[in-house]
Amino acid sequence: MATEILVPVLGESITEATLGEWLKQPGEAVAADEPVASLETDKVSVEVPAPAAGVMGQHAVKPGDTVNVGAMIGTIEAGDGAAAAPKAEAAPAAAPTPAPAPAPAEAAQQAPAPAEHVDAAALSPSVRRAILEHGVDPATIKGSGKDGRITKEDVVAAASAKSSAPAAPAPVPTPAAAAAAPAGDNRREERVRMTRLRQTIAKRLKDAQDTAALLTTFNDVDMTAVIEARTKYKDLFEKKHGVRLGFMGFFVKAACMALKDIPAVNASIEGDEIVYRDYADISVAVSAPQGLVVPVIRNAESLSVAGIEKTIGDFGKRAKDGTLKMEEMKGGTFTISNGGVFGSLMSTPIINPPQSAVLGLHRIEDRPVVRDGQVVVRPMMYLALSYDHRLIDGREAVTFLVALKNAIEDPTRLLIDL
């Protein structure tokens, strides 16, 4: 008897999701609680576990389809998977008029057929972009990711192997064939349905622009002291705490101190009231295969730099694995986004409602600056604070950035709360 695979409860107020991809194909053996499909919600990807052990039955929905909580999306049949293969092979033998085997030339032409089974919607955006950029057929790529999924690195490696392979001599076209060949036949387009996460990001960012009075204030910070401290203590830090010492730990700690001094930056508008908070739940933008996600470091003001780095490291790992939980993405009071890891020099980040401010970090680069009347080269970073001008005045925004700058340029302040 078949066991139905149902869409699980996805979280408070979430009633539907989009089927991202099937992790098990019909006929494959499935263990109890083994992930068989992934669902995309407004915030994260959620894996659907098998309700029982057996053999994967038919898929009731396709990748990209919208499904409601509690809906049946597939079945698990009785069996162990091994017995299913002979049964499938026996079907052609029982047919009264089996189709003739194709000639070798025809078989060679039919070889690329597996490309039909590579669903563009099941590939991450970065993988789809890489496939378009390198002109690689995804059916020829062997995925090295989880459950054989194709990664961006797989695409780059396939493109490199393709370019290094000797090219077959091109046949000389006849005049008639040359006249029939369309000009610019290397121009291609691809339409890919937006993921539910991307749709939600687009809506929330547009809502922020429509409702908040956005303004961005800039400053720069000399990273010399933090770089020296990190270089001096990174090995001891990793040995003691089991996590690498990065820059985000310093910035989160410095931001918490500045938020305590300038509480409006940590506040929000609710109706005709302003909500002030004596705690700092810092949302940290983390890159995931489906796009940026923003998990929250709860009570960051009470954590040490080591505690902050451990939390961020855990978020980053689980974002890549798609195992972040819904509740970990809600309720932040202030956001830090580090575009510098991608090479950004300067940007104007958009706030994450109902928050009232977001701090943008950027790349570190050597620039000439004046110190004690002398021009010297220092590792500098631009800081950008975007904020809701309805709540935060320019003076408060500038004061916040100066307090942050002072703490980063003199990390001792972080120890003595100055």
The CATH number that applies at residue 359 is 3.30.559.10
Decide: 352 and 360 in contact? Cβ < 8 Å: no
Phi, psi of 259, rounded to the nearest 5 degrees: -65, -35
Is the same domain home to 123 and 79? no
The CATH number that applies at residue 143 is 4.10.320.10
In the chain, the amino acid numbered 241 is H
Is the same domain home to 144 and 240? no
* pLDDT at res. 252: 96
The one catalytic residue in 80, 147, 207, 393 is 393
Taking residue 365's Cβ as centre, other Cβ atoms within 10 Å add up to 14
Is the same domain home to 232 and 278? yes
* pLDDT at res. 13: 63
Residue 119 appears among annotated catalytic residues: no
In a domain, 268, yes or no: yes
CA distance 87 to 84: 5
Find the angle CA(381)-CA(215)-CA(268) to the nearest 5 degrees.
105
Domain boundary among 84, 104, 129: 84
In a domain, 94, yes or no: no
Is the same domain home to 236 and 309? yes
Is the same domain home to 259 and 406? yes
Structural domain for 52, as ranges: 3-84
In a domain, 230, yes or no: yes
Calculate the CA 214 to chain-centre distance. Answer: 25
The one catalytic residue in 65, 119, 241, 389 is 389
What are the CB-based long-range contacts (under 8 Å, 24+) for 205-211?
Answer: 205/350, 207/353, 208/350, 208/351, 208/352, 208/353, 209/350, 211/353
In a domain, 18, yes or no: yes
Is the same domain home to 359 and 233? yes
In the chain, the amino acid numbered 42 is D
What is the pLDDT tens value at each position of the chain, 418 positions in all? 688 888 888 766 677 888 888 888 888 888 888 888 888 776 667 788 888 888 888 898 888 788 888 888 888 888 765 444 434 444 444 444 455 555 444 444 444 444 445 555 556 656 766 776 677 778 788 787 766 778 777 887 888 777 665 555 555 555 555 555 555 568 888 888 777 777 777 888 788 888 889 999 999 999 999 999 999 999 999 999 999 999 999 999 999 999 999 999 999 999 899 999 999 999 998 877 666 788 999 999 999 999 999 999 999 888 887 788 878 888 899 999 998 888 899 999 999 888 999 999 999 999 999 999 999 999 999 999 999 999 999 999 999 999 999 999 999 888 767 6
Q: Report the run of H or E that residue 93 belongs to, with start and end.
A: helix 84-94
In a domain, 412, yes or no: yes
* pLDDT at res. 23: 87
145-158: b or e for each residue (b if 16 or more CB lie within 10 Å)? eeeebbbbebbeeb
In a domain, 403, yes or no: yes
Calculate the CA 61 to chain-centre distance. Answer: 24
Residues composing the chain: 418
CA distance 344 to 145: 28
Taking residue 275's Cβ as centre, other Cβ atoms within 10 Å add up to 13
* Relative orientation angle of helices 248-261 and 305-321, to the nearest 10 degrees: 120
* pLDDT at res. 154: 81
Is the same domain home to 412 and 281? yes
CA distance 297 to 282: 5
Is the same domain home to 218 and 294? yes
* Relative orientation angle of helices 305-321 and 224-241, to the nearest 10 degrees: 70
Is the same domain home to 261 and 385? yes
Is the same domain home to 265 and 404? yes
* pLDDT at res. 85: 41
Q: Is the pTM of this model over 0.75?
A: no
In a domain, 185, yes or no: no
CA distance 38 to 23: 7
In the chain, the amino acid numbered 232 is K
Domain total in the chain: 3
Provide the sign of the torsion angle of the four alpha carbons 4, 87, 143, 190, taken in this order. negative
The CATH number that applies at residue 12 is 2.40.50.100
In a domain, 176, yes or no: no
Residue 393 appears among annotated catalytic residues: yes
Taking residue 313's Cβ as centre, other Cβ atoms within 10 Å add up to 17
Domain boundary among 35, 69, 84: 84
Decide: 380 and 367 in contact? Cβ < 8 Å: yes
Is the same domain home to 246 and 334? yes
Placement of tokens 């001008």 in the chain? 389
Is the same domain home to 274 and 380? yes
Domain boundary among 68, 84, 100: 84
In the chain, the amino acid numbered 132 is L
Placement of tokens 């039909």 in the chain? 116
